[in-house]
């Protein structure tokens, strides 16, 4: 069975963007692959976090992974910082990465700009992709289901794997990226030219998976739309309506073509009310499943077991990396 790896940062409560770009794919793929899902808290500290909030989000994220439909008996769910191999492998991969290639990452440029306005830019933000490469390569993952925004990081992961394989020893599987058919990049509700992000300062820009369902419907109704009145998918000229069509399609599995014909002749207002209802009922069901997991008291056991399984696999790869690079003593 081939291996799959993916991660989500506990940098906030995941959004419907994260659901459609990441979690929904995970549940569709869990039967086909030996699947490792990670709560990447070490990635989250590349931007300032409140210590208690971070811990709370880490637990909440576990419940959200499970509520998305992952079966804890089939998959391995764990917290990144609890598996020491990630930081070790990241260091080794930093030593085969070039500053120039890390500086070219658009996520680094975007987040660095934000940080620079407040204080200096921390080094972790620059080396983020080497940690992400470590996450993936440690498990010999052949597929990485993520949103479109991660393409550049995945490409760098492939480059680093190949470079390491050529320079030291052929130990890494070069992974492929996988995007969902619909919803690989959900845009912000108040600026449809920007990606929806859970760490956005403006809560009106996203729908969090734990938003009050009625308040979420309201956010949809007040989402920025475009000039004109037709409900058609046209990313260039109608980024707002196109984004809402993608959300609708992703949550209902109705094709965009079907939605366009269902809403032909209807107003933006009617369409947004209908999508608001879709979002409201989706969140109501989703949150009931989150609560079930929280109440079950099983989350810590699932994460403990996940840590053991992940460590066993990742430690072996770290040993191979160290041997290839000549670190430590002969074993």
Q: Nearest Cα to 156, choosing from 105, 111, 106?
A: 105
Extract the tokens encoding 176: 């492929």
Q: In the stretch 97-136, what mask flags binding to ligand ATP with x, by CB under 6 A?
A: ----------------------------------------
Cα distance between residue 206 and residue 199, in whole Å: 9
d(C-alpha 115, C-alpha 77), whole Å: 31
Q: Is there a binding annotation on residue 152?
A: no
Hey, which residues does 178 pair with through a beta bridge? 145
Beta strand 34-39 with 176-178: parallel, antiparallel or unpaired? unpaired
Q: How many of the other CB atoms lie within 10 Å of CB of 265?
A: 9
| Contact residue for ligand ATP among 17, 72, 129, 276 (CB under 6 A) | 17
- The three-state secondary structure class of 176 is strand
Position among 90, 127, 157, 197 found at the interface with ligand ATP (CB under 6 A):
197
Tell me: is residue 195 an annotated ligand-binding position. Answer: yes
Which tokens sit at 52?
A: 């208690």
Q: Which two tokens stand for residue 6?
A: 């993916």
111 belongs to the catalytic site: yes
Asked whether position 246 contacts ligand ATP by CB under 6 A, the answer is no
Among 21, 192, 240, 250, binds ligand ATP (CB under 6 A): 21
4 DSSP β-pair partners: 35, 143
- Which positions from 136 through 155 interact with ligand ATP, judged by CB under 6 A? 146-147, 149-150
Residues in contact with ligand ATP, counted by CB under 6 A, come to a total of 22
195 counts as binding ligand ATP under rule CB under 6 A: yes
Cβ 140 vs Cβ 314: under 8 Å: no
Q: Is 59 a catalytic residue?
A: no
Count of CB atoms within 10 A of residue 166's CB?
Answer: 10
In the bound state with ligand ATP, the residue whose beta carbon lies nearer, of 183 and 213, is: 183
Strands 143-145 and 176-178: parallel
CB 38 within 8 A of CB 6: yes
Q: Could you say which of 24, 111, 238, 272 is catalytic?
A: 111
Q: Which of 59, 178, 185, 204 binds ligand ATP (CB under 6 A)?
A: 185
221 phi, psi to nearest 5 deg: -65, -30
The answer to the question of whether 321 is labelled as a binding residue is no
Q: Which of 4, 5, 9, 58 binds ligand ATP (CB under 6 A)?
A: 9
Residue 148 labelled as part of a binding site: yes
Q: Which residue has the tokens 């009310």?
A: 273
Pick one of 8, 182, 303, 314: the residue that binds ligand ATP (CB under 6 A): 8
255 is in an annotated binding site: no
- Piece in contact with ligand ATP (CB under 6 A), picked from 5-13, 29-37, 166-174, 270-278: 5-13
Alpha-carbon distances, residue 12 vs 59, 200, 201, 208, 262 (angstroms)? 12, 9, 10, 9, 35
Question: Per CB under 6 A, does 272 bind ligand ATP?
Answer: no
Task: Give the three-state DSSP class for 209.
Answer: coil
198 is catalytic: yes
- Mark residues 226-245: x for contact with ligand ATP by CB under 6 A, - for none: --------------------
Summarize the annotated binding site for L-tryptophan as residue ranges: 135
Summarize the annotated binding site for ATP as residue ranges: 9-11, 17-18, 147-149, 186, 195-199
**Could you list the residues that contact ligand ATP (CB under 6 A)?**
8-9, 11, 15, 17-18, 20-22, 146-147, 149-150, 183-186, 195-199
Active site residues: 111, 195, 198
């Amino acid at each position: 069975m081939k291996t799959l790896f993916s991660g989500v940062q506990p940098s906030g409560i995941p959004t419907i963007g994260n659901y459609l770009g990441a979690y929904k794919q995970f549940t569709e793929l869990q039967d086909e692959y030996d699947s490792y899902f990670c709560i990447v808290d070490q990635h989250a500290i590349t931007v300032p976090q409140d210590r208690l909030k971070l811990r709370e989000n880490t637990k909440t994220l576990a419940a959200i992974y499970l509520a998305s439909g992952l079966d804890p008996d089939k998959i391995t769910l764990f917290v990144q910082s609890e598996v020491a191999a990630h930081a070790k492998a990241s260091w080794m991969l930093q030593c085969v990465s070039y500053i120039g290639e890390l500086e070219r990452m658009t996520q680094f440029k975007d987040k660095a700009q934000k940080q620079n306005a407040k204080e200096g830019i921390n080094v972790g933000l620059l080396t983020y992709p080497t940690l992400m490469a470590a996450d993936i390569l440690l498990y010999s993952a052949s597929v990485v289901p993520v949103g479109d925004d991660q393409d550049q990081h995945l490409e760098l992961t492939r480059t680093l794997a190949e470079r390491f394989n050529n320079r030291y020893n052929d130990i890494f599987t070069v992974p492929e990226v996988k995007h969902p058919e619909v919803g690989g990049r959900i845009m912000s509700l108040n600026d449809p030219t920007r990606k929806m992000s859970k760490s956005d300062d403006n809560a009106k820009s996203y729908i969090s998976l734990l938003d009050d369902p009625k308040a979420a419907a309201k956010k949809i109704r007040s989402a920025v739309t475009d000039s004109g009145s037709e409900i058609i998918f046209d990313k260039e000229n109608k980024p707002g309506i196109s984004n809402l069509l993608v959300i609708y399609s992703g949550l209902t599995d109705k094709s965009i073509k079907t939605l366009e014909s269902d809403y032909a002749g209807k107003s933006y207002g009617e369409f947004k009310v209908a999508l608001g209802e879709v979002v409201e009922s989706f969140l109501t069901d989703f949150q009931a499943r989150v609560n079930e997991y929280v109440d079950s008291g099983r989350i810590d056991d699932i994460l403990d077991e996940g840590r053991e399984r992940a460590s066993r696999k990742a430690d072996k790869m770290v040993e191979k990396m160290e041997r290839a690079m000549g670190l430590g003593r002969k074993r």
